[in-house]
Amino acid sequence: MASPRLKREQSFDFEEASAQEAVGSASASYSPPGGGGVFGISPPESSPRDGRKRRKDRPSLVKHTFTPHFDGHLWRKYGQKNIKDSAFPRLYYRCSYREDRQCLASKLVQQENDDDPPLYRVTYTYEHTCNTTPVPTPDVVAEQPPPGAAGDAYLLRFGSSAGGGGGGAHQQQTERERQQQNTARRRPFMMLSFDSSSSHQLHEQPHAFPPDGQLPATAAAASPSSFTAAEALAAPPLTTTMNDGGDLFSTWDALRYGLDYDHGHLGNHVYLPDDCNGGDDNY
């Protein structure tokens, strides 16, 4: 009858409290060279009896990006809630290794705008204590989006996070985003789309990318002369010219080819410009 809600032992008490906002800065690189990292906190192993840390005390990192799922880590969605202050629901993700490696790393993904390339505000809480090496994922961060001014172009910052070669964590994106018609009525902004060899849940998608690595004409044709992420992505010359310092290309190249290799099971990642969900907010 009633819901047997068991008493959960939520004794999350941490020390340290540095809520920094790395807005427009891809400096959110998780590289703890020796007990530091972005958060610089310690795992909750002490006796959480006295220090009643408030929620606000939790170390969190705010980052704006168009690819909230491209941080090189595996996240498991554990909740979704509608925020009164936001027209979009907030998604709660936790490290998939939380139970395996006690990784308390969690992140909140909230859509800020419903622009063609929806901007997501990702709030990272705690660092990954797991030993999993993040896959080289390009971070597309938006730099200070115009609040009210005519934002014609966002400053997309392409950065590569982590550079491990072993490949421990795989990106996994399993959002049930219904494929709506790509009506590029507004700005022909291109979305980042990575297709893997293995077909996943998106059986509805026959082919997101041509084998030759060409960008979908959907936006390609729609962007006659405008800086778009697609251009930057499609820019990398496939001619093995070995451009020194081509970190960007290197990353992308590895992403497009390295990840393409079905070494096991890579997650598909298809970003579609769907104007948020249809009114499907079952409340």
Partner DNA sequence: ATAATTTGACCGTG
Partner DNA sequence: CACGGTCAAATTAT
Nearer to DNA, 111 or 125 (CB): 125
Measured CA distances, 124 to 15, 79, 89, 129, 175 (Å): 16, 15, 17, 13, 19
Residues 6 or more apart whose CB falls under 8 angstroms from that of 126 comprise 14, 39, 41, 58, 59, 104, 105, 106
Kindly tell me which residue out of 1, 33, 34, 52 binds DNA, with binding defined by CB under 7 A. 52
Whether 21 contacts 38, CB under 8 Å: no
Given the rule CB under 7 A, which of 50-58, 129-137, 245-253, 254-262 is the region that contacts DNA? 50-58
Whether 262 contacts 198, CB under 8 Å: yes
Distance CA 173, CA 205 (A): 15
Measured CA distances, 141 to 15, 49, 95, 227 (Å): 29, 39, 21, 15
Distance CA 33, CA 145 (A): 32
80 binds DNA (CB under 7 A): yes
| Smallest distance from DNA to CB 277, Å | 10
Q: Which of residues 209-238 bind DNA (CB under 7 A)?
A: none
47 binds DNA (CB under 7 A): no
84 binds DNA (CB under 7 A): yes
Kindly tell me which residue out of 114, 175, 231, 253 binds DNA, with binding defined by CB under 7 A. 175
Nearer to DNA, 176 or 185 (CB): 176
Kindly tell me which residue out of 19, 46, 78, 197 binds DNA, with binding defined by CB under 7 A. 78
Binding site for DNA (CB under 7 A): 2-6, 8, 10, 52, 54-56, 76-81, 83-85, 90, 92, 94, 96, 106, 108, 125, 172, 174-176, 200-203, 282-283
